[in-house]
Amino acid sequence: MNLDPALLARIQFGFTVSFHIIFPTISIGLAMFLAITEGLWLRTKDPLYLQIYRFWLGIFAMAFGVGVVTGIVLSFEFGLAFAKFGQMAGPAIGPMIALEVLTSFFLEAGFLGIMLFGLHRVGPRLHFLATCMVALGTLLSASWILSANSWMQTPDGIEVVNGHVVVTDWLKVVVNPSWLYRLPHMLTAAYITGSFLVAGVGAWYLLRGEHVPFGRRTVSMGTAFATILIATQVFLGDILYGKMVQLQPAKMQAAEGFWDKQSESPAPYYWMIVPDQEHQRNRFALGIPVLGSIWLTHSLDGRVDGLKNTPVDRQPQMGWVFYGFRVMYGIAILMFGVAVASLWLRWQGRLFANRWFLRTLVVMTPSGIVATLGGWYLAETGRQPWVIYGILRTIDAVSPVPADVLLSSLIAFICIYALFLTAFVLFAVRMIRRGPQGAPAQAEASGSLKQALKPRVINAPVGASPLPAE
């Protein structure tokens, strides 16, 4: 059997980056939640906020660790599978990856130890600063990575000289045409992911009648954050959609499932299609009449552009793009419905008593992760057949590596990442089953930094120091 090295390289990178993105999404969302929670504890002195902080800190730390390890692999994979991409685009991509390490990774690494183990050593206010710095580090990391990826989507500020990228304007490279639109969309998605994780676990406790104060508070916080964030995401997504129609029309044409240069009027909105890429048509399409014109053109009779506007050799595979978008968009609709229901139940005073709603929250616990994966597949498969849009094709970026080497490394990645995922899931499930009262008591304060640095305090057992009396 003849194996295609280009196909294997794409499968390998697609698998590893899909696995990796799960954990930064969780850690970005939980880092901001932890910063807010600790701030509320400092403000109110309510020990329940400290209990919530301790509980989610362990899950955050595990997600952060797995994200770091799997992120490092991606850098090596550029050399293994896509060396020609690195040779050509290194002058633009390399400095952004380096700056991500120098700014965000060092910031996170510098304060993570204090965040995990330091409250009883350095005091609550300095510990809160450490938590905020880690949250800021996750934001900066996302900013640099999204800048590099957005440059690959919408390259700017460069010239191609003798097959190599030459930077002519660093500001345009970093602040490329799509970055300012994609970054807030991605950050909001991560914060929504964290909100549904928190609310879902709290709802599970309420359904079981366990840790009720913890469950009520986390359901209240999670649904409140999710309501604000999903409403914001509706506007951010619409703005990003309009921008990408201008910058990458083929991606958005494929995302809507239309082939003809212009759809019928009024246009339907398709929820399911069976695309036939070879014959440039849909074998089957199921949609809602008129909704396509209303939603996509903001009129009752607008027409929608189809994929035939793009030459065949520059078209992405419609099926991947269409269903990636439908997964992201469909889950966003469900999230919006949950947010509206939470407002109604909160107003009626039944937010913690409606079991159907609580069951829905439990089911929606991983929804942010699934929606993020759908959006990522939309972004990456919609860019094809380019690795640098309009400049370098994916097929031309593949390393001259034998197919059997790529296959063996792919199998190794699958096995190792399966262990990572199993360890993370088992760890998280164990913590959830153990409950918030079983969270490590690492966050007790010993007073000021000066007091904490005294030998008798440093050598004291964890948890021996009382909370500061204020």
Determine the pLDDT at residue 98.
84
* Mean per-residue pLDDT over the chain, rounded: 86
Measuring CA to CA, which residue among 168, 135, 174, 133 is closest to residue 154?
A: 174
Of 66-80, 101-115, 355-369, which has the strongest mean pLDDT?
355-369
Who's near 180: CB < 8 A, 6+ residues apart?
A: none
Hey, how many other C-beta atoms are within 10 angstroms of the C-beta on 422?
A: 10
Encode 39-60: b = buried (16+ Cβ within 10 Å), e = exposed: ebbeeeeeebbbbbbbbbbbbb
Whether the Cβ atoms of residue 126 and residue 448 lie closer than 8 Å to each other: no
Examine residue 150 and state whether it is found in any structural domain, yes or no: yes
In this structure, what are the phi and psi dihedrals at residue 440, rounded to the nearest 5 degrees? Answer: -55, 135
Q: Given 3-state DSSP classes, what are the helix, strand and coil percentages for the chain, each rounded to the nearest 5?
A: 70, 5, 20
Counting Cβ atoms within 10 Å, is residue 287 exposed (0-12), middle (13-18) or buried (19+)? middle
Collapse the DSSP code of 447 into the 3-class scheme (helix H, G, I; strand E, B; otherwise coil) and give the result: coil
pLDDT confidence of residue 438: 64
Give the pLDDT confidence of 34-55 residue by residue, as tens digits.
999 999 999 998 999 999 999 9
β-strands 164-167, 158-161 pairing = antiparallel
What is the SS3 assignment for 164? strand
Does residue 270 sit within a domain? no
Residue 93: what pLDDT? 86
Does any domain span residue 368? yes
Given a contact cutoff of 8 angstroms between Cβ atoms, the answer to whether 59 and 379 are in contact is: no
307: its two tokens? 């994929």
Residue 302 maps to a domain:
no
Higher pLDDT, 332 or 453: 332
Mean pLDDT of 330-336: 93
* Over residues 362-382, mean pLDDT: 92
CA distance 205 to 411: 38
Residue 80: pLDDT band with limits 50, 70, 90: confident
Is 222 contained in some domain?
yes
Write the Ramachandran bin of 4: left for phi over 0, alpha for psi from -120 to 50, otherwise beta: beta
User: Are β-strands 386-388 and 392-393 bridged in parallel, bridged antiparallel, or unpaired?
Assistant: antiparallel
Q: What is the mean pLDDT of residues 118-147?
A: 89
8 has a pLDDT exceeding 80: yes
Most confident of 80-84, 216-220, 275-279: 216-220
Domain extent, residue 382, equals 5-249+319-458
183 Cα distance to chain centroid: 11
What's the pLDDT at 437?
Answer: 77
The DSSP result for 191-230, as a single string, is HHHHHHHHHHHHHHHHHHT-SHHHHHHHHHHHHHHHHHHH
- For residue 64, the SS3 value is helix
pLDDT value at residue 327: 93
Q: What's the average model confidence in pLDDT over 391-411?
A: 86
Averaged pLDDT for residues 260-289: 88
| Distance of alpha carbon 31 from alpha carbon 197, whole angstroms | 13
Task: Decide if 104 is inside a domain.
Answer: yes
Q: For residue 217, give the nearest of 442, 451, 355, 55 by alpha carbon.
A: 55
How far is Cα 235 from Cα 224, in angstroms, rounded to an integer?
18
Task: Check: CB of residue 318 under 8 Å from CB of residue 254.
Answer: yes
Q: What is the pLDDT of residue 439?
A: 61
What's the average model confidence in pLDDT over 7-30?
89
In a domain, 400, yes or no: yes
What is the model's pLDDT at position 457? 40
How many domains does the chain contain in total?
A: 1
Task: Say yes or no to pLDDT of 334 above 50.
Answer: yes
* pLDDT above 70 as % of the chain: 93
Task: Name the band, by pLDDT with cuts 50, 70 and 90, for residue 461.
Answer: very low
Q: What is the spatial distance between Cα 268 and Cα 297, in angstroms, rounded to a whole number?
A: 11
What H or E segment, with its residue span, contains residue 427? helix 403-434
DSSP one-letter string for 293-361: HHHHHSSSS---B-GGGS-GGG---HHHHHHHHHHHHHHHHHHHHHHHHHHHHHHHT-TTT-HHHHHHH
Top pLDDT among 447 and 433 is at 433
Residue 219 pLDDT > 50, yes or no?
A: yes
Question: How many Å apart are CA 211 and CA 365, to the nearest integer?
Answer: 18
Q: Is residue 12 very low, low, confident or very high in pLDDT (cuts 50, 70, 90)?
A: confident
The count of C-alpha atoms lying within 13 angstroms of the C-alpha of 456, restricted to the half-sphere facing its C-beta, is 2
Average pLDDT over residues 440-452: 47
Whether 185 has a pLDDT exceeding 90, the answer reads yes
Is 113 within the bounds of a domain? yes
DSSP letters spanning 239-270: HHHHHHHHH-HHHHHHHHT--SSB--SSPPEE
pLDDT at 28 over 90: yes
Tally of residues, the chain: 470
For the ranges 193-197, 234-238, 260-264, 359-363, the lowest mean pLDDT is seen at: 260-264
